[in-house]
Chain A
């Protein structure tokens, strides 16, 4: 069953080294752009408040359950739902995006545990255009915090 996330909630998205300049501490906005070549329809994120507790605990739980191979050189970028929605809508011709929790069941053998906090960002434009990049950059501007992947 899917759950629409509230504006005050937060999500994290795994950003790999290619899109995270460690020395500058910068995340590229294309981390929040759909992959046109793969025909991606929504962006995968993880809902922090699903786990309750403090942010540090929530991030620890995401690391433990996420169905994604994360490298230590990457980073988990935290977004506030409401701020990201406002950012995407603020771009002229921008998008009305929604955040929907859709926890994933276990997928053995690679992922023996469920990923209950998995969520999707829906409503983003297809990637590959400067308009999509501009919306991604706007969302990047709303990053709340960066968390290590391990």
Chain B
């Protein structure tokens, strides 16, 4: 993960400072919530949790977002054997109002891992890094909305979503949605053409793809069904919609 050394023009929210994120206080907050998390405080990038620069997320100022790095190997399948940035990151949403309470509930995407972090109030400016943070904020926003509506997020769906995105860091950032079922759905769209992937858990994806018919662009060819995490990429290529994922 690349980070910009540039100083933010605006901190988000303004009241937060680096002192809020010192390892000791964070450990105090997190340790009672989940004993399996080991905090390995470091000031070295690229690990980080960082206050992002995104304006559009109304829930972002309700808490912090942290990325867990280096999850235990046992918790992951073959997709995660190789070092990948996003696949090894999972999101914690820590309600700001409760973060000093030892009994505060926390949401964890996955329950094993080592949390490496650095404190920063600088906003990222590197485009790919900003894209990851926008994705992180959208996930946090969806988590908050799920809480408000009493929807239980499918951990299997979230796990598969993060794995999939982590193996495709060079892809365009998709739109993300959370369905009534608690499953995540990602959408890459250009006009009427699309790739929509619902992560059903157990490494199964439900897909809906549209592309303009060759020679008859007024018509849309469609394909929908289910495939595995590993198989979906071949399907996108076969159907001719891979280009929708390109930046």
Q: Do A and B come from one complex?
A: yes
Where the two chains meet, the residues of A that have a C-beta atom closer than 8 Å to any C-beta of B are: 16-19, 21-24, 26, 28-30, 35, 37, 73, 90-92, 130-131, 133-134, 137-138, 141
The answer on a CB contact under 8 Å between B222 and A92 is yes
Known A16-B145, A21-B138, A21-B176; contact A28-B185, beta-carbon cutoff 8 A: yes
The answer on a CB contact under 8 Å between B149 and A133 is no
Interface size on B, residues (CB 8 A): 36
Cβ-Cβ contact count across A and B, 8 Å cutoff: 76
Binds A, one of B3-11, B29-37, B188-196: B188-196
Chain B: minimal CB distance from A125 (Å):
12
13 residue pairs of the A-B complex, CB under 8 angstroms, read A17-B141, A18-B149, A21-B175, A23-B57, A26-B175, A28-B185, A28-B196, A30-B177, A73-B58, A133-B198, A137-B194, A137-B196, A138-B210
- Name the interface residues of B160-199: CB closer than 8 Å to any CB of A: 175-181, 185, 187, 189, 192, 194, 196, 198
Set A17, A18, A30, A91: member contacting B222, Cβ < 8 A: A91
Set A23, A30, A138: member contacting B179, Cβ < 8 A: A30
Complex Cα spacing A90 to B145, Å: 33
The answer on a CB contact under 8 Å between A22 and B56 is yes
The answer on a CB contact under 8 Å between B178 and A18 is yes
Set A29, A35, A90: member contacting B180, Cβ < 8 A: A35
The answer on a CB contact under 8 Å between A137 and B175 is no
Central interface residue in B54, B181, B224, by most chain A CB within 10 Å: B224
Main secondary structure of the interface of B (DSSP, over half): strand
Considering the complex of A and B, which 10 residue pairs feature the smallest CB-CB distances, nearest first?
A: A130-B224, A26-B175, A21-B175, A28-B177, A24-B175, A18-B178, A23-B56, A134-B224, A134-B208, A22-B56
Complex Cα spacing A62 to B146, Å: 26
Complex Cα spacing A138 to B194, Å: 10
Set A18, A35, A134: member contacting B142, Cβ < 8 A: A18
Task: Give the chain B neighbours of A141 by CB distance below 8 A.
Answer: 192, 210
Q: Mark B216-241, 1 if CB is under 8 A from A, else 0.
A: 00011010111000000000000000
Task: Give the chain A neighbours of B141 by CB distance below 8 A.
Answer: 17
CB-CB nearest in chain B for A127: B180
Known A17-B141, A23-B54, A133-B206; contact A90-B220, beta-carbon cutoff 8 A: yes
Chain A: minimal CB distance from B134 (Å):
6
Q: Mark B199-221, 1 if CB is under 8 A from A, else 0.
A: 00000001110100000000110
The answer on a CB contact under 8 Å between B145 and A137 is no
Chain A: minimal CB distance from B55 (Å):
9
Chain A: minimal CB distance from B200 (Å):
10
The answer on a CB contact under 8 Å between B177 and A21 is yes
**With A26-B187, A28-B177 already in contact, 15 other A-B pairs whose C-beta atoms are closer than 8 Å:** A16-B145, A17-B141, A23-B54, A28-B179, A28-B187, A30-B177, A73-B58, A91-B222, A130-B207, A130-B224, A130-B225, A130-B226, A133-B224, A141-B192, A141-B210
Known A28-B187, A130-B225; contact A37-B181, beta-carbon cutoff 8 A: yes
